[in-house]
């Protein structure tokens, strides 16, 4: 009886761990970005590139670029790479001034889950 209970507990916790890890992997999280998070760069980038862990739906996804004072920086159109829907490009229409910037992103992944986040980089 006790052994049976132990088996049930082991099976249940295994299942719980499996579900948690699947959830962690099933959403579109930011895998990498250019300029990278916390990067200090010396030249104004022509484009922001964000790579996610899942494919994203361009219709319900977006990226906002903000200056240190919180003012929005005008960017070009958000596009999903035609060869890889995990990669998002946002062209910059004008060179950035030196200073720190915050990138706010929100995406709808192809599995229908919404995620969002932000990161910073500095132009010296």
In the bound complex, what is the minimum distance in angstroms from residue 32's beta carbon to Cu ion? Answer: 19
The residue whose two tokens read 């035609």 is 82
Name which of 43 and 111 has its Cβ closer to Cu ion: 111
Count CB neighbours of 21 within 10 A.
10
- Check residue 29 for interaction with Cu ion (CB under 5 A): no
x/- site string to Cu ion, residues 55 to 94, per CB under 5 A? ----------------------------------------
Bridge partner list, 32: 51
Tokens found for residue 94: 């004008």
CB of 2 to Cu ion, least distance (A): 39
Residue carrying the six token digits 């579900």: 19
Binder among 6, 46, 97, 113 for Cu ion (CB under 5 A): 113
Number of residues written out for the chain = 124
- 38: exposed, middle or buried (C-beta count within 10 Å: 0-12, 13-18, 19+)? exposed
Q: Which residue has the tokens 């950035």?
A: 96
Nearer to Cu ion, 81 or 111 (CB): 111
Instruction: Choose, by CB under 5 A, the member of 37, 43, 81, 111 that binds Cu ion.
Output: 111
Residue nearest to Cu ion (CB): 113
Q: Which parts of this chain interact with Cu ion (CB under 5 A)?
A: 26-27, 111, 113
């Amino acid at each position: 009886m006790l052994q049976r209970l132990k088996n049930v507990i082991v099976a249940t916790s295994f299942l719980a761990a499996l579900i948690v890890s699947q959830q962690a992997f099933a959403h579109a999280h930011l895998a990498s970005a250019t300029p990278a998070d916390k990067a200090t760069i010396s030249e104004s980038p022509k484009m922001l590139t964000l790579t996610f862990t899942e494919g994203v739906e361009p219709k319900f996804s977006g990226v906002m670029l903000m200056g240190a004072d919180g003012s929005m920086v005008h960017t070009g159109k958000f596009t999903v790479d035609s060869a890889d829907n995990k990669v998002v490009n946002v062209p910059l229409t004008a060179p950035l001034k030196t200073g720190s910037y915050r990138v706010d992103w929100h995406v709808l992944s192809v599995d229908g889950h919404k995620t969002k986040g932000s990161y910073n980089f500095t132009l010296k």
